[in-house]
Amino acid sequence: MTARSAFTRILNVEDARQAARRRLPRGLFEYIDRGCEDEVSILANRRRLDAIALSPAVLVDVARTSTEAELLGKQHPLPIVVAPTAVAGLVWHDGEIALAQAAARSGIPFCVSTQSITSIERIAAEAGADLWFQLYIWKNRRRMLDLLDRAWAAGAETLVLTADTAVGPNREYNLRNGFGIPLKLSWRAALDVALHPRWAATVMLHALATGQVPTYAHYPAEFRTRLGREALSDEISLAKDVTWDDIRLLRQRWPGKLVVKGILRVEDALTASSHGVDAIVVSNHGARNLDCASGPTDVLPRITEAVGDRMEIFADSGVRRGADIARFLALGARGVMIGRATLYGVAMGGSEGAARVLDLLSAELRTTMGMLGARELGSIRRAEPSP
């Protein structure tokens, strides 16, 4: 049985989620799966997507449908970008490379996180993917600019600034599970790992045996520590004084495409446009940061109306089906970022597991389009609301 055929029992993202739950220690699984505080927003994201009805056209020849999309000047077979996710290398050995390889097979971009355990140089060399780079701004802007130079030299041509994490979120379950970054030893965490020996052997013990103890690969070498230790310098802490002046700085320094992720206000979208930003991501960070934030579906139509002719608009948060991708596109998004879904896939089976999830989402999107009578992405329409 091939690795790909081993996942034929996985029929949707929820199946992949349950497979990831079984394989990962509880603390790590909940770190990637859950939201924040009372988790009102993570449930609301799902309800809001479910409430969006699409309008089918009948008697349309859908023998040939196209899911191709032009994203920031490049043609891709799907309107999907694999979103940046921290510490994917704890979910699977070299998890970032596995995600990038799956993205490359699907012909879509992979966005490397600032907090990746694998360096962008290694990902570029071993995955062959169209790489984007996600940025958190450090207190020391000079060191942050040095990181941009690294990303550009490695081949990333699109920079994604995450703008919606001014302070650390309140995720109480991490404390209850004894899980956090930096990793800390505790009896609860040790028992959690012991109950998941396959993960412990293939990720943690493999790393220890090869001398590759997990660390943030994009931190300056002199400040790089194992994930079990505190940072050696405040210089690379996330800055709390990030403003539109930083967007000007990035626009001056970065020669490629510039994307701002985490926009939920029309006025912020307009300001991004006036600063030369090429695209925005309408997102509430997968409901992981602010439990009382609005959802992307609430504001996406108004943002599209305000700036859709000036810049490209992406969306994320809560995608579980190909129909969810279609819903975001019907609201005005050019493309959709996928985060948790592909992490579930890589957790259950590395690159092949992530590829299985992308294949499922692609097939579901095509089925949705066929049922809608939509031969191309631009034909997807939202149903008119009832009077």
Strands 69-71 and 74-76: antiparallel
State the Cα torsion 192-194-195-199 to the nearest 10°. Answer: 90
Tokens of 30: 């909940």
The pair phi, psi for residue 287, each rounded to 5°, is 60, 25
Asked about 285 being catalytic, the answer comes back as yes
Residue with tokens 């032009």: 70
Taking the C-alpha atoms of residue 80 and residue 324, their distance in angstroms, rounded to an integer, is 12
Is the peptide bond preceding residue 182 cis, with omega within 30 degrees of 0? yes
Catalytic residue among 76, 196, 218, 285: 285
SS3 sequence of the chain: CCCCHHHCCCCCHHHHHHHHHHHCCHHHHHHHHCCCCCCHHHHHHHHHHHCCCECCCCCCCCCCCECCEEECCEEECCCEEECCCCCHHHHCCCHHHHHHHHHHHHCCCEEECCCCCCCHHHHHHHHCCCEEEEECCECCHHHHHHHHHHHHHHCCCEEEEECCCCCCCCCHHHHHHCCCCCCCCCHHHHHHHHCCHHHHHHHHHHHHHCCCCCECCCCCHHHCCECCCCCCCHHHCECCCCCHHHHHHHHHHCCCEEEEEEECCHHHHHHHHHCCCCEEEECCHHHCCCCCCCCHHHHHHHHHHHHCCCCEEEECCCCCCHHHHHHHHHCCCCEEEECHHHHHHHHHHHHHHHHHHHHHHHHHHHHHHHHHCCCEHHHCCECCCCC
Question: Looking at the annotation, which residues are catalytic?
Answer: 285
